[in-house]
Amino acid sequence: DTGVSQDPRHKITKRGQNVTFRCDPISEHNRLYWYRQTLGQGPEFLTYFQNEAQLEKSRLLSDRFSAERPKGSFSTLEIQRTEQGDSAMYLCASSPSTAAYEQYFGPGTRLTVT
Amino acid sequence: EDQVTQSPEALRLQEGESSSLNCSYTVSGLRGLFWYRQDPGKGPEFLFTLYSAGEEKEKERLKATLTKKESFLHITAPKPEDSATYLCAVQIFGETSGSRLTFGEGTQLTVNP
């Protein structure tokens, strides 16, 4: 399978704990995006990388959220001091530079904060 | 503020009963309009990109069209396997917008056999 992969698929954590998610984009894609989706809503943009550079961050991305893409390949999204409102599906997408407008999504990581 | 509104929120069809989903948008400068399909518990699956008014694209039983204010996703003779949530998203021009997609809330389609 050469699609976008995300790990873990599901994460249950207690309020106040830190969590980290990983995204592996399609191999030749240099752009990577993180979105958050709650039940019944469309995905909301969080942040965007071109290669290893983080070029845009949404105001939704509070100080407790940090994302990295250290070598321009996989990316991690960390949430510190989780809150119940952080419960959502976290989606990663990637796109190639040649067709930069088409974003291909991974299966998502479902986070539940208890 | 950029806005994307999808209607209806939910749609139930009988197998073979054709219909259309609507996506209306208010944006400062449209770079592209995207349709995705999302099955429960999965990530969105890319369907179409439309760039300019008058453009149409087709894939199997689906046809997407674009005007200056809205897009339609026409479903011809749907089958139960077409049941899913259909998401519309826009991408706008502008240095601060980057490549982000702004999504609507989706239309949940159910096709009964």
Segment B106-111 mean pLDDT: 98
Answer whether residue B46 shows pLDDT above 90.
yes
Tell me how far apart the alpha carbons of residues B100 and B89 are, in angstroms, rounded to a whole number.
10
Burial (CB count <10 Å: 0-12, 13-18, 19+), residue B57: middle
Segment A67-82 mean pLDDT: 95
The pLDDT confidence band at residue A60, using thresholds 50, 70 and 90, is confident
The pLDDT confidence band at residue A62, using thresholds 50, 70 and 90, is confident
Answer whether residue A9 shows pLDDT above 80.
yes
pLDDT at residue A1, as a whole number: 55
Higher-pLDDT residue of A98, A37? A37
The pLDDT confidence band at residue B97, using thresholds 50, 70 and 90, is low
- Percent residues over pLDDT 90 in chain B: 84
CB of A67 within 8 A of CB of A48? no
Q: Quote the minimal CA–CA distance from A63 to chain B in Å.
A: 20
The residue among B37, B91, B95, B99 with the most chain A CBs within 10 A of its CB, best to mutate, is: B99
Residue A52, token pair as written in the block: 């290893």
pLDDT at residue A110, as a whole number: 97
CB of B100 within 8 A of CB of B1? no
Q: Quote the minimal CA–CA distance from B95 to chain A in Å.
A: 10
Task: Give the DSSP per-residue string, A68-103.
Answer: E-TTSS-EEEEESS--GGG-EEEEEEEE-STTTT--
H or E, element range at A109:
strand A109-113
The pLDDT confidence band at residue B96, using thresholds 50, 70 and 90, is low
Higher-pLDDT residue of A89, A99? A89
For residue B25, give the amino acid letter. Y
Q: Which long-range contacts (CB under 8 A, 24 or more apart) does A47-55 make?
A: A48/B98, A48/B99, A48/B100, A49/A75, A55/B98
Residue B56, token pair as written in the block: 């149409």
pLDDT at residue A59, as a whole number: 86
Answer whether residue A21 shows pLDDT above 60.
yes
CB of B87 within 8 A of CB of B24? no
pLDDT at residue A25, as a whole number: 96
Report which of A58, A56, A65 is spatially closest to residue A86, judged by C-alpha positions: A65
**Average pLDDT, rounded, for chain B:** 93
What residues in B contact A102, CB-CB < 8 Å?
A: 34, 46, 49
Segment B65-70 mean pLDDT: 95
Tell me how far apart the alpha carbons of residues A19 and A95 are, in angstroms, rounded to a whole number.
25
CB of B103 within 8 A of CB of B46? no
Answer whether residue A102 shows pLDDT above 60.
yes
The residue among B4, B36, B91, B101 with the most chain A CBs within 10 A of its CB, best to mutate, is: B101
